[in-house]
Amino acid sequence: MSVTRVELSNEEKILLHLLDHTHYEEKMHVPHHLTQKGISDKTGIRINHIPKTIRRLVENGELEEFLAYVHGAKRKRKAYSLTEMGKVRGKEVLSDIQGREITVVDGLGRSKETTIESVYKKVQESMSLVDLIELVDNDNRLDENLCLKGEGVQTVSRLHNAPLAKDFLGRDKELQELSQWLKGSEYPLLMLSGIRGVGKSWLVSHFMKRLVDWNKLYLDLWDIQNDRDLRSFLGDFASDLHPSLDVN
């Protein structure tokens, strides 16, 4: 019996991504992830494939392009939002994909049949729907350790702004070094350096998204416009860790 893999086309990924950001449509200031580079980071679509896909969506009347001030940039840049037609199609894609059945496998190898929607309700605070679907393998199986907390463990995860490290390969040495640092380095901070585009953000994102039972925060400075934004972002995370914590 053949299995129809749960997967999304590039157009569908962009529609779902922008469906989560319709509240920015009337604003002059928008976050980085409404730009072509931001859409690439959040959906895992290679940047050289973004212009063609966006152009096709614009021609279909499902996407509109506009100029806006992007957080962290001094000049206006091109940004994108869904048209009413795009919202309709995006919601259709969302409804279809959430109803698809997958097999979740826990740490003991036990399998359970469920739906994408059921799993997403448990992980939506830490990853996007596109992120989750990328973790489903060709046989529609999902390793629970890649996205769900350990039983009885209360953790906070804020990885919405982390780039989607699709088809991540290699970097075994660097991943091992990150693991060793996390387990007990005498240094509380670690800096990754390298030329632009070498894959620093993908490496960190890949590493963080596969950590289990850790509090995780990925902060993209493109989304921080001023000190108030930073305090608000950190304050929300601190409050989730413990209601009595406040950095504001």
User: pLDDT digit string (tens) for 45-70?
Assistant: 888 899 999 999 999 999 999 998 87
Torsion-angle region of 207 (φ positive above 0: left; ψ -120 to 50: alpha; else: beta): alpha
Task: Please give the pLDDT value at position 151.
Answer: 47
Measured N-to-C along each axis, helices 10-19 and 84-98 cross at an angle, to the nearest 10 degrees, of 100
Q: Does the pLDDT of residue 80 top 80, yes or no?
A: yes
Closest by CA to 175, choosing from 199, 146, 207, is 207
* pLDDT at residue 3 tops 60: no
Most confident region among 24-33, 50-59, 114-123, 180-189 by mean pLDDT: 50-59
Asked if pLDDT for residue 173 goes beyond 70, the answer is: yes
> pLDDT value at position 53?
96
Residue 43 has pLDDT above 80, yes or no: yes
Across 98-197, the runs of DSSP E, i.e. the strands, are 101-105, 111-115, 141-143, 157-158
Look over the chain and give the mean of its residue pLDDT values, rounded to a whole number. Answer: 79
Average of per-residue pLDDT across 14-42:
82
Instruction: Extract the tokens encoding 235.
Output: 């304050």
Lowest-pLDDT range of 64-68, 80-84, 150-154, 217-221: 150-154
Q: What percent of the chain has pLDDT over 70?
A: 75
Alpha helices (H) along the chain: 10-19, 36-43, 50-59, 84-98, 116-123, 129-134, 172-184, 200-209, 227-241
Mean pLDDT of the region 142-147:
76
Q: Does the pLDDT at position 87 exceed 80?
A: yes
Domains of the chain: 10-96 (1.10.10.10), 99-217 (no CATH)
pLDDT of residue 193: 83
Please give the pLDDT value at position 64. Answer: 94
Measured CA to CA, the distance from residue 9 to residue 56 in angstroms comes to 13
Spatial distance between the Cα atoms of 13 and 62, rounded to a whole number of angstroms: 13
25 pLDDT above the threshold of 70: no
pLDDT exceeds cutoff 50 at 152:
no
Length of the chain: 248
For residue 13, how many other CB atoms are within 10 A of its CB?
A: 25
The band of 136, judged by pLDDT with boundaries at 50, 70 and 90, is confident
Which three-class secondary structure state does DSSP give residue 79? Answer: strand
Q: Which two tokens stand for residue 239?
A: 């409050």
Output the pTM of the full model: 0.64
